[in-house]
Homo-oligomer: A and B are copies of this chain.
Amino acid sequence: MAGGRPRTFDMDDALDRAVEVFWRQGYEGTSISELTAAMGVNKPSLYAVFGTKEELFQQVVQRYAERELAYFREALALPTALEVVCDYLNRNAVALTRPDRPPGCLSIQGGLSASPANNTVTQFLATSRLTGERALAARLTRARTDGDLPADAAPAALARFVMVVSEGQAVHAAAGATAYELQQSAAIALKAFEQALTTAN
């Protein structure tokens, strides 16, 4: 057994750098040479460690979900439906506009559309967004049995509405909207949600 030549890069750091590049430029807007430069990894090592561009992208999205979307899972753990949604949309506004991060959301601008050759990337991101929506729907279903959502409320439709607002916030953030502006939109959306707490939907 032998050690071999040591790496000049840290895998975790390199992946974080890749997250940033894909986040800012999207899948098709990012070239391998830009990635190797930003990650501090030479090309053969990149392929040895992370696989192809598409495989790297999947790891990037996973890392992004773990490190940058923690607030979503934390929001889901709050006691009532209203708290969940209020917390999520407001923290979303902040997360989408962090000055030390690219504006917007990787899960959307990473590849909302693409060449037919890269269709799997678009579908992969759509699926990962849908997973979040389903988690929220499940949380709202529980809220209905908990009693903080009316029995005749529609958790799937409400969850979809919340995700629609959150995606709209992301598009606006990518265009340069401020956290305050996005929170204003969140506040208006929450009025609709509050109404669902008392009325049939």
Could you tell me which residues of chain A, from 146 to 201, have a CB within 8 Å of some CB in chain B? 154, 157-158, 160-161, 163-172, 174-177, 181-182, 184-185, 188-193, 195-196, 201
- The verdict on A58 contacting chain B, using a C-beta distance below 8 Å, is no
From known contacts A168-B166, A175-B129, infer whether A188 and B184 are also in contact, taking CB-CB under 8 Å.
no
Once the chains bind, are A171 and B168 in contact (CB under 8 Å)?
A: yes
List 9 A-B pairs, minimum CB-CB distance, nearest first: A164-B168, A168-B168, A192-B192, A126-B175, A29-B115, A109-B113, A26-B113, A167-B171, A167-B168
- The verdict on A35 contacting chain B, using a C-beta distance below 8 Å, is no
Number of interface residues of A (CB under 8 A): 55
Contacts of A166 in B (CB 8 A): 168
Distance in angstroms between the alpha carbons of A168 and B34 in the assembled complex: 30
Interface of A is mostly: helix
Once the chains bind, are A188 and B201 in contact (CB under 8 Å)?
A: yes
From known contacts A29-B118, A115-B29, infer whether A163 and B172 are also in contact, taking CB-CB under 8 Å.
yes
Partner of A29, one of B113, B176, B195: B113
Distance in angstroms between the alpha carbons of A15 and B193 in the assembled complex: 42
6 A-B pairs (CB sep. < 8 Å): A29-B118, A34-B115, A109-B112, A160-B184, A164-B168, A164-B171
- The verdict on A28 contacting chain B, using a C-beta distance below 8 Å, is yes
From known contacts A28-B28, A29-B28, infer whether A181 and B160 are also in contact, taking CB-CB under 8 Å.
yes
Contacts of A195 in B (CB 8 A): 191-192, 195
Distance in angstroms between the alpha carbons of A164 and B108 in the assembled complex: 14
- The verdict on A30 contacting chain B, using a C-beta distance below 8 Å, is yes
From known contacts A31-B115, A113-B25, A176-B126, infer whether A164 and B169 are also in contact, taking CB-CB under 8 Å.
yes
From known contacts A130-B175, A189-B161, infer whether A25 and B112 are also in contact, taking CB-CB under 8 Å.
no
